Amino acid sequence: MKVVVLGSGSYSGTPKPLCTCENCSRARINPALRRTRFSLYIEGGILVDPSPDLHYHLERLNKRIEKVFITHAHFDHIAGFPELQVFREVDVYSHRQAVEMARHLSAIFLGGASPENRDWRYHELEFGRWYEIEGMRVYHFRTVHKSIENSGGFVFEIRGKRIAVTGDTGPEILEDKDTLKLIEGADLLIAEMTHRESIPGTHLGVEDAIKLAELTDASYTLFAHISHSNYTHEVLEKRVRESGIRGKVARDFTWIEV
């Protein structure tokens, strides 16, 4: 089963307009160092977080999307939702706040949630329980991510494999025993690594992102949601390599077979 990190960046992407930091300056010269906003594809038509760069992602991926899971309703994780207009049938899953925002975006930009030529179905998920969804099990867990009331991650059980996606989370996840146990031993962990240092209640830094991978003992970890203000990709790769964990720092369109 193939998993693709479509976008590896955080809210501003890299390069950020008008920014002259090292990462932004290098990315303007070398396209391989660019980072679009976070989005994830799981083989079988599953999309996690329709980022503002979704048209670019779908253009390159060129796969049908059937199910959309949204971690939370912040701009960089949901603003690309109307780009799914190319698909007639889509099922959308998230906590009520994100589902309502998805409906709102559809109504504003596409003339309603279900025009005559479109069958989009919206499913509200509660935090802290498993759901059986067409051949897979999905668990939606809550994370601490300030400035929004409801933010979460997902654990997908598909064809005997477990894939965990943290979404945006503060370092409080390291003390959340229930979530750590849930993720423990995952075949693949997609963990955010937004900043150099963690911001309580908001995002993970490099050290704490690596610590999360160590605590959960995932078989493999892809670190994503990288801010332009973080270390360079080469430094991040070195930090992960020296930690001894099994994993790497994602670039745009990094894929792995699970």
Question: Whose structure tokens read 């999360």?
Answer: 212
Dump pLDDT digits (tens) for 143-163. Answer: 999 989 999 999 999 999 999
- 3 state SS of 130: strand
Q: Looking at the 3D structure of the chain, how many domains does it have?
A: 1
Dump pLDDT digits (tens) for 26-59. Answer: 999 999 999 999 999 999 999 999 999 999 999 9
Residue 116: predicted pLDDT: 54
Domain housing 78: 2-257
DSSP per residue over 150-195, as a string?
A: -EEEEEEEETTEEEEE--S--GGGGG-HHHHHHHTT-SEEEEE--B
CATH number at residue 199: 3.60.15.10
pTM of the model: 0.96
